[in-house]
């Protein structure tokens, strides 16, 4: 089956609300596409103005994180209900920066994935290995463990509708990119893991992105691979070049 490509920008901790609207206005004409789903995942404070600024366009808006409780004494956190009410469609979960700097565990991410689905949000679940893990030859084992842990108890129907993003940690923001063969190898292994946990149909439907220094020069080759269904783009999503990544053909 032909899976529709999805190209997502992860803005990370960049752009004030006014700067965000300015960037969106610049990117709207550049990211028009009938063939690719386009997603801007923006800081929480930018969500409302970006949702407003993208109305009537092909751009969908996502969040960069959320908590797994509905409400309560969780100072500084944001709930799925808050995101839905603000117009968010997707949410990035388990980005390596969240895992590393904020010590998010697979157990917590499993709760977040389930909560996102419960509230009608589509998770963009990230996984990836460190340079030491790659050099030790445990990349695929580590990725499989992350996927199995984070999706424990999640239904096949939900998994088929989600997005999984493979991001080698050593390639995020470093300018280094996994070779096309390396990226495809891991994305294929993720799909095989989904087939092992669920079934071939679910594995064929789930969309798997590559992330890690994706840019206008390497997007076409990466996205042409059988198991790579688009990209989760960091720094390049904050520039006009993001349009070239979306319209990679």
DSSP 34: S
Torsion of CA 47, 84, 197, 104, to 10 degrees: 50
> For the packed helices 139-150 and 106-118, what is the interaxial angle rounded to 10 degrees?
50
- Find the distance separating the first CA and the last CA of the chain, reported in whole Å: 19
- 207: Cα separation from own chain's centroid: 10
Q: What percent of the chain has pLDDT over 70?
A: 100
Report residue 1's pLDDT band, with 50, 70 and 90 as the boundaries. Answer: low
CB atoms within 10 A of CB 86: 16
pLDDT tens readout for residues 113-124: 999 999 999 999
Say whether 67 sits in a helix, a strand or coil.
coil
- 81: Cα separation from own chain's centroid: 20
Q: What percent of the chain has pLDDT over 90?
A: 93
Q: How far is CA 112 from CA 47, 115, 121, 148, in A?
A: 19, 5, 11, 14
Residue of 64, 108, 167, 184 marked catalytic: 167
Rounded mean pLDDT, 105-114:
98
| Range of weakest confidence among 80-94, 112-126, 207-221 | 207-221
Q: How far is the C-alpha of 94 from the C-alpha of 197, rounded, in Å?
A: 20
**Angle CA 33–36–38, to nearest 5:** 85
SS (H, E, C) 54-102: CCCCCEEEEECCCCCCCCCCCCCCCCHHHHHHHCCCEEEECCHHHHHHC
* 95: annotated active-site residue: yes
**Cα atoms found within 13 Å of the Cα of residue 158, Cβ hemisphere only:** 20
DSSP 144: H
**Which superfamily does 5-246 belong to?**
Aldolase class I (3.20.20.70)
Q: What is the pLDDT of residue 34?
A: 95
- List the chain domain ranges: 5-246
* 104: annotated active-site residue: no
Residue of 64, 95, 97, 184 marked catalytic: 95
pLDDT tens readout for residues 136-181: 999 999 999 999 999 999 999 999 999 999 999 988 777 777 899 9
What are the structure tokens assigned to 32, written together? 């028009």
């Amino acid at each position: 089956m032909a899976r529709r490509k999805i190209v997502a920008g992860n803005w990370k901790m960049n752009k004030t609300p006014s700067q965000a609207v300015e960037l969106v206005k610049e990117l709207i004409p550049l990211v028009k596409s009938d063939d690719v789903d386009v997603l801007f995942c923006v800081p929480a404070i930018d969500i409302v103005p970006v949702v407003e600024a993208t109305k009537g366009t092909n751009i969908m808006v996502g969040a960069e994180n959320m908590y797994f409780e509905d409400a309560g004494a969780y100072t500084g956190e944001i709930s799925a209900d808050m995101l839905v009410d603000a117009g968010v469609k997707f949410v990035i979960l388990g980005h390596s920066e969240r895992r590393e700097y904020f010590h998010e565990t697979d157990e917590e991410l499993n709760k977040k994935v389930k909560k996102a689905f419960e509230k009608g949000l589509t998770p963009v679940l990230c996984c990836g290995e460190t340079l030491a893990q790659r050099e030790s030859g445990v990349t695929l084992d580590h990725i499989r463990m992350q996927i199995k842990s984070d999706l424990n108890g999640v239904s096949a129907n939900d998994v088929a509708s989600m997005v999984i993003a493979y991001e080698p940690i050593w390639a995020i923001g470093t300018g280094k990119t996994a070779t096309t063969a390396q990226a495809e190898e891991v994305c294929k292994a993720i799909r095989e893991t989904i087939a092992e946990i669920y079934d071939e149909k679910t594995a064929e439907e789930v969309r798997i992105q590559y992330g890690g220094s994706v840019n206008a020069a390497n997007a076409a080759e990466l996205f042409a691979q059988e198991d790579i269904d688009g990209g989760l783009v960091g720094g390049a999503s904050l520039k006009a070049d993001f349009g070239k990544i979306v319209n990679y053909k």
